[in-house]
Amino acid sequence: MVSEATNTLKKSVFWDWMTTVDHKKIAILYLLAGTLFFLKAGLMAVIFRIQLIAPEMEFISGQTFNEFITMHGTLMLFLAVTPIFFAFMNFVVPLQIGARDVAFPFVNALGFWLFFLGGLLLSLSWFFGGAPDAGWTSYVPLASREFGGVGIDFYVLGLQISGFGTLVSGINFIVTIINMRAPGMTMMRLPLFCWTTLLTSILIVFAFTPLAAGLALLMLDRIFDAQFFIPGEGGNVVIWQHIFWIFGHPEVYILVLPAFGMISEVIPAFSKKRLFGYTSMVFAVLIIAFLSFMVWMHHMFTVGIGPIANSIFAISTMTIAVPTGIKIFNWLFTMWGGKLTFNTAMIFAASFVPTFVLGGVTGVMLAMAPVDHLYHDTYFVVAHFHYIIVGGIVLGIFAALFYWYPKMFGHKLNETLGMIMFWLFYIGFHLTFFIQHILGLVGMPRRVYTYLEGQGMDTMNFISTIGAFLMAVAVIILIINIVYSALKSEPVTVDDPWDARTLEWATHTPVPEYNFAQTPQVRSLDPVFYEKIHGNGKMKPAEPLDDIHMPSGSILPFFISLGLFIAGFGFISFHLDLFISPYVLIAIGGIVTFGSMGLRSMQTDHGYHISKETVEEMEKELS
Amino acid sequence: MNGWKRFLQFAPLMAIVLLLAGCGEQGLSALDPMGPQSQWIFDNMLLSLYVMALVIVVVFVLFFIIIIRFRHKEGDDEYPEQVHGSTKLEVAWTVIPILLLAILAVPTITGQFYLSVGAEDIAEDEEDIGDLGDADEEIAEEDIAEDAYVIDVTAHQFWWEFDYPEGFTTGNEVYIPEGEEVVFQLEAEDVIHSFWVPALAGKVDNIPGVTNHLWLEADEPGVYMGKCAELCGPSHALMDFKLIAMEEDDYAAWNEEMQQEEEEPEETLAQQGREHFEEEGCLACHAVEGEGSAQGPTLTNFGDRNQIAGFLDYSEENLRDWIRDPGALKQGTNMPASPGLEDDELDAIIAYLDQLEAVDDETTEELEIQ
C-alpha cells in the first residue's frame, strides 16, 4: 500500500499493526476486535434462544444460561458495539474535521490495547471456573463473594481495564474535535457524526468515572473483604444500583448518539439533500446528552424509593421523548423532497427511523412509573431495549459499514448480498423482538432459563427463536459478503464514490497516511457538496504544500496494557488455585505497566516528517 | 374513572387488545387483570398505547409516503432543493409531543400514589399537601392503615416464605381472602428477588436490608400464579409461587385450621412417615405446625399444595424424585439429596406429607375450577 511507503515500509506487517498510532489503522483494529466480540456474543444469544425454543428444554442448565446472558449483555455493550463505534469515529472524525490524526495518537493506541486486553481478561473467565453469572448489571448481593462465582472477579477487573481504555479514548476525541478542526470548520458546520462523537465522548468521561468507582468498590468487597454492599454489615445493596445506573443510563446514550450521527450522515448523502433543521438536530442531541444523567432511577422504579422520587424521574424520562421526536421528524423531512437512492446503506438507514420509533414509544410507556411495575424485569423491557439497540444502533452500524466501507477498504461491499442480508436481518429482528413485548405482558420475566408448559408462552417463544436464527443467517451472509467483496469487488479509485457531502470524501481512496496533503479550507456545512455547487468540486487548500509532521509508532501502548492485564489477572487469582502467587503476578504486571510508562516519559520522540517531494509523488499516484 | 374505562373499552383499538388478551394464561397474564391494582395498570397501559399509536401512525404514514414518492428516477441528476429547515414545522413537532406527554404525566403521578402503600392516605389529605415529602421516606408500620391485613413475605433462594399476622407460616403458597385489600411486607433473606403476581398487581422488589410494601386485592376467588422477577441465581426461572384467593368464610376456616396444633396422623403409614421425617432431620429446615426450623419452606399445609417446590406438578412420582435429588430438578437449591433413604421410608414420608392439609378437598376443587 502506498501509505506505507515511507516510515512503515521497513516494518513487518505484524510489527506495523502492533505499534501503529495511525487513526485509520487503529480504526480497523477496533473494527476487527469489536466484530469478534460481536460474533461471540451473537452466538451466545443463538444458544440461549435455542434453550428457550420450547418449554422446559434442557439444552443448557440454568447456571450456563445465566453465564451466557451475562456475557451476551456485557460483551455486546462494552466490547462489541462501543469498539465498533470507536472504529468509525477513529476513521471518520479526523477526516470529517480535516485533521491529520487525532489529538493524541499514542493515547489512541493505548485506548485500543486497554480495551482489547481488558476484553480478553473478561473472556478468560470461561477457562477458570465459569463466566460471570449475575447479569450484565451485576446486582449485589448476587454478585458478592457469598453468592456470585469467581467469574464476577473477571467482570470487575476486565471491565475496569477496558473501561480505562474507553475513558482515555473519550478524552482524546473531545480534544480532537475541539482543537483539531480545519480552518473554517466552525462548531455549527461540524457534521452531525462529529457532534454526536463529541457528546458521546463527554458522556463517557462523566459516566465511566462512576462505573470505575463502582467497580473499585465491588472489587474491594469481593477481593479484600470490604462491606460496601453487604447488608447487615453496614453495607447497602441499593447503592450499587444507583452507581451502576448513573453510569448505565448515559451508557445507553453513549451507544445511541453515534448511531444518530451515522444516520444523519447516510440519509442526507443518499437523499441528495442537506440535513433538515441542522441547528435543531444539534441542540436535540445536546439536550438528550444532558438529560441522560437525570433519569437513571427509571431503572429502579420497583426498588421502593417512594412515589415522589419515582414521579420526578418518570417525568424527566418522558421529556427525553421530545428531543428524540425532533430528530425523527428532521430525518423524515430530510428525505421529504429528496431523490432517494435505496442501496444497502440507505435502506438500513431509512429503516432505522420507523424501527427506532417503535423502540422509542415503548420507552415512553416504560417511563410511566406506576405502569412500569408491570413491565419492569419482563420480556417487555427486553423487547424495548433490543428495539433501541438492534433496531436503532445495529441498523445504524450496518448503514455506516456499507457507507464508509469503500473509504476504509478501497472497495464497496456487494449490493445483492447486502440486500439479502438486510431483509433477513430486518424480518428476523421483528420476529424475534416484537413478540417479546407480548411475552412480557402475559407474565414472562426476563432472564429466565426456561418456562413451564401451559403458561401460554410456547408459540411466542418459538417464533422469537426462529427470528433469532434469521438474524444469525443475515450476519453469516455479511461475513460472506466481506470475503466475497474482498476477492471480487472492483477497487474504488475515485475519492467520492457516493456523490456525498462531507469532508472525508475529499480524501483519496485509499486514504494516505497523512489524510490531507494540504489542510482544506472549509466554506460551509457539507463542504464537499458546497464545492461541487460553488467551486470546482475540489476543496481549496488552507496552507501551502509542505513537509508533513507525523507521529512515530510505538509498542509501549501494548505493554502498558499487557502489564495491567497481568496485574488484573493477579488480583483475580487470589481466589483461583494457581501454581503462581498472586503477588508475583501483580508485581510483574506493575513493573511492566509502570516501567513502560516511565520509558515513555523519558523517551524523546518528535515523530518524523514526510518530505514535500514524497507527498507530491504520492498525490500524483493516487489521483 | 368509570367514564374513562368505558371510553377505553369502546375505542377502536379494542379489537387488537382483545386479540392480545387471547394470549396468555388466565390467572397469570397481566392482559387479563383480576384485581383493582392490575386493572388500573392495564387501563393506563392502554391509554399510553393509544397515545403512542397516534405517534406511530403519523410517522409510518409519512415514512411510506416518502419512500414511495421521493425515489430517485433514472436520468434525473439534478440536485433537489437544499432546504435548511422550517421553523413552523419544527415548533409543531416540539409542542405536540409535549402536549401528548402531559396527558400521560397526570396518571403517572396520581397512579404512583394510588398504587403505593400508605402514601395514598397522605395524597388524599389536601391540607397536608406540604408534607408530601414524607411519602418519600420508608413507610413506618403506623402509616399503614390499621385495619390493613399485612402478610410478611421473605424471599429466599429459591422459595417464598409467608408469615401471617396470626403467627403461622406457609411456604410457596399464600392464601388471601377475596375482595379485601391485603398488604404484603416484602423482605429478602439472601439476594434480591421481586414479588410479582401479574394478574393482580405490579411487582415490587424484595431487597436484603430493605423493607418494601405492596398491596393487592383479588376480585374473585381463584389460584393466581406468582413469579420472581429479579435474577436471583441458577433457578430463578423456577421460583414460582401461588396466590390463592378464597371466599371470606373459607378463608376464615382455613386460617383457623392453620392455627391448630398438629394432630396425630390417622393412618399407620403416615404415622411411620412422621417418625422417619424426624429421624432424617427434615425438621432441621422444614417446620410443621410451628414445630421445627424455618430454614426451608414450612410444610404445615403441604397436602394442599398445587405444586411441589413451586414448579413441579403435585404428584407422588414428582415428590419422590424431588426428595431423592432436589438439586437435579432445581439447580442451586439448598435442600440436600437423600440417596440413602429406603423406598418404603420414602413412601411413608410421602403419605405423611400428603395428609398435612388445612383445606377440605371440596374447596380445593372449587378453586381449581375457577
> The CATH number of the domain where A486 resides is what?
1.20.210.10
The residue written with cell numbers 469532508 in the block is A503
Interface of B with A in 133-152 (CB under 8 A): 133, 135-137
Task: Pick the residue from chain A with its C-alpha nearest to B96.
Answer: A322
The answer to whether position A597 is within a domain reads no
Are both B233 and B340 inside the same structural domain? Answer: no
DSSP track, A202-228: HHHHHHHHHHHHHHHHHHHHHHH---T
The whole domain housing B300 covers: 268-369
Q: Is A184 left (phi over 0), alpha (psi -120 to 50) or beta?
A: left
Q: How many domains does chain B have?
A: 3
C-alpha distance from B256 to closest chain A C-alpha (Å): 33
Dump pLDDT digits (tens) for B79-108: 898 888 889 999 999 999 999 999 999 999
Expressed in angstroms, the distance from the first to the final Cα of chain B is 28
Task: Pick the residue from chain B with its C-alpha nearest to A138.
Answer: B231
Question: From the list B84, B90, B240, which residue is nearest A326 (CB)?
Answer: B90
> Do residues B357 and B364 touch, judged by C-beta distance below 8 A?
no
The answer to whether position A593 is within a domain reads no
pLDDT at position A572: 94
| A480 interfacial to chain B (CB closer than 8 Å) | no
**B58, B66, B99: which to substitute to probe chain A, counting the most A Cβ within 10 Å?**
B66
The answer to whether position A563 is within a domain reads no
| A326 interfacial to chain B (CB closer than 8 Å) | yes
Interface of A with B in 36-95 (CB under 8 A): 61-63, 65-66
pLDDT at position A561: 97
Are both B195 and B277 inside the same structural domain? Answer: no
The answer to whether position B151 is within a domain reads yes
C-alpha distance from B330 to closest chain A C-alpha (Å): 9
pLDDT, greater one: A88 or B273 = A88
Are both B276 and B364 inside the same structural domain? Answer: yes
* Domain final residue, candidates B258, B288, B309: B258
Q: Which residues of B touch A271 (CB under 8 A)?
A: 70, 80
What backbone torsions phi and psi does residue A468 show, to the nearest 5 degrees? -60, -40
A520 strand-pairing partners: A541
Which residues of chain A are modeled with pLDDT < 70? 1-10
The answer to whether position B293 is within a domain reads yes
The answer to whether position A161 is within a domain reads yes
**Interacting residues of A65 by C-beta distance below 8 A, sequence separation 6+:** A48, A51, A449, B234
Least confident of A18-22, B147-151, B202-206: B147-151
**Interacting residues of A202 by C-beta distance below 8 A, sequence separation 6+:** A170, A174, A289
> Do residues A167 and A204 touch, judged by C-beta distance below 8 A?
yes
Are both B235 and B277 inside the same structural domain? Answer: no
Dump pLDDT digits (tens) for A340-353: 999 999 999 999 99
Interface of A with B in 510-549 (CB under 8 A): 533
Strands annotated E in chain B: 149-156, 159-163, 169-171, 173-177, 182-188, 193-196, 204-206, 212-216, 222-228, 241-246, 307-308, 312-313
Interface of B with A in 223-252 (CB under 8 A): 225, 227-238, 240
Query: What is the interface pTM, i.e. ipTM, of the complex?
Result: 0.91
The answer to whether position A583 is within a domain reads no
The answer to whether position A572 is within a domain reads no
Are both B95 and B38 inside the same structural domain? Answer: yes
A62 and B236 within 8 Å at the Cβ level: the answer is yes
**Interacting residues of A303 by C-beta distance below 8 A, sequence separation 6+:** A238, A241, B205, B207, B210, B212
**Running DSSP on this structure, what letter comes out for residue A416?**
H
A273 and B90 within 8 Å at the Cβ level: the answer is no
Backbone CA torsion sign across A564, A566, A570, A572: positive
The grid coordinates of residue B92 equal 409543531
**A59, A71, A329, A358: which to substitute to probe chain B, counting the most B Cβ within 10 Å?**
A329
Q: Which amino acid is at B301?
A: N
B213 strand-pairing partners: B185
Q: Which amino acid is at A14?
A: F
Question: From the list B71, B97, B232, which residue is nearest A325 (CB)?
Answer: B97
**A308, A457, A463: which to substitute to probe chain B, counting the most B Cβ within 10 Å?**
A308
A302 and B202 within 8 Å at the Cβ level: the answer is yes
Task: Pick the residue from chain A with its C-alpha nearest to B213.
Answer: A304
| A374 interfacial to chain B (CB closer than 8 Å) | yes
The grid coordinates of residue A581 equal 502467587
Q: Which residues of A touch B73 (CB under 8 A)?
A: 339
The whole domain housing A152 covers: 2-554+605-622
A147 and B25 within 8 Å at the Cβ level: the answer is no
A329 and B210 within 8 Å at the Cβ level: the answer is no
Dump pLDDT digits (tens) for B210-247: 999 999 999 999 999 999 999 999 999 999 999 999 99
The answer to whether position B120 is within a domain reads no
B45 and A350 within 8 Å at the Cβ level: the answer is no
3-state secondary structure A1-34: CHHHCCHHHHCCHHHHHHHCCCHHHHHHHHHHHH
Interface of A with B in 278-297 (CB under 8 A): 278-280
**A302, A387, A450, A499: which to substitute to probe chain B, counting the most B Cβ within 10 Å?**
A302
Task: Pick the residue from chain B with its C-alpha nearest to A132.
Answer: B233
| A272 interfacial to chain B (CB closer than 8 Å) | yes
How many C-alpha atoms does B191 have within 13 Å on its Cβ side?
Answer: 24
Averaged over B308-331, what is the pLDDT?
90
Q: Say whether pLDDT at B18 is over 60.
A: no
> Do residues B307 and B368 touch, judged by C-beta distance below 8 A?
no
Interface of B with A in 273-302 (CB under 8 A): none
**Interacting residues of A301 by C-beta distance below 8 A, sequence separation 6+:** A310, A313, A314, A369, A372, A373, A376
The CA dihedral of B14, B16, B22, B23, to the nearest 10 degrees, is -130
**B83, B106, B211, B329: which to substitute to probe chain A, counting the most A Cβ within 10 Å?**
B83
Cα–Cα distance between B34 and B32 in angstroms, integer?
Answer: 6
CA-closest candidate to residue A241, choices A295, A157, A299, A292: A299
The answer to whether position B23 is within a domain reads no
* Domain final residue, candidates B258, B280, B297: B258
Contacts 24+ apart (CB under 8 A), B361-367: B363/B246, B363/B250, B363/B254, B364/B304, B366/B221, B367/B221, B367/B222, B367/B223, B367/B244, B367/B246
C-alpha distance from A327 to closest chain B C-alpha (Å): 10
The grid coordinates of residue B357 equal 392439609
Cβ atoms within 10 A of the Cβ of A17, count? 17
Task: Pick the residue from chain A with its C-alpha nearest to B23.
Answer: A456
| A15 interfacial to chain B (CB closer than 8 Å) | no
Q: Which residues of B touch A451 (CB under 8 A)?
A: 237
pLDDT at position B143: 55
| B60 interfacial to chain A (CB closer than 8 Å) | yes
How many C-alpha atoms does B291 have within 13 Å on its Cβ side?
Answer: 11
Task: Pick the residue from chain B with its C-alpha nearest to A445.
Answer: B229
Question: From the list B63, B84, B107, which residue is nearest A353 (CB)?
Answer: B63
The residue written with cell numbers 398435612 in the block is B356
Convert A588-619 to b/e letters by CB count within 10 Å (16 or more is b): bbeebbeebeeebeeeeeeeeebeeeebeebe
The answer to whether position B203 is within a domain reads yes
Question: From the list B63, B136, B208, which residue is nearest A354 (CB)?
Answer: B63
The answer to whether position B282 is within a domain reads yes
B55 and A361 within 8 Å at the Cβ level: the answer is yes
The answer to whether position B79 is within a domain reads no
Interface of A with B in 389-448 (CB under 8 A): 438, 441-443, 445-448
| B102 interfacial to chain A (CB closer than 8 Å) | no
Are both B273 and B237 inside the same structural domain? Answer: no
Q: How many domains does chain A have?
A: 1
Question: From the list B112, B192, B311, which residue is nearest A142 (CB)?
Answer: B192
Convert A242-260 to b/e letters by CB count within 10 Å (16 or more is b): bbbbbbbbbbbbbbbbbbb
In total, chain B counts a number of residues equal to 370
CA-closest candidate to residue B232, choices A379, A375, A134: A134
C-alpha distance from B167 to closest chain A C-alpha (Å): 25
Are both B308 and B336 inside the same structural domain? Answer: yes
pLDDT, greater one: B123 or A337 = A337
Averaged over B326-344, what is the pLDDT?
89
Interface of A with B in 549-608 (CB under 8 A): none
The answer to whether position A485 is within a domain reads yes
Cα–Cα distance between B360 and B344 in angstroms, integer?
Answer: 27
The CA dihedral of A551, A553, A558, A561, to the nearest 10 degrees, is -10
Q: Which residues of A touch B203 (CB under 8 A)?
A: 302, 373-374, 376-377
The answer to whether position B72 is within a domain reads no
The answer to whether position A596 is within a domain reads no
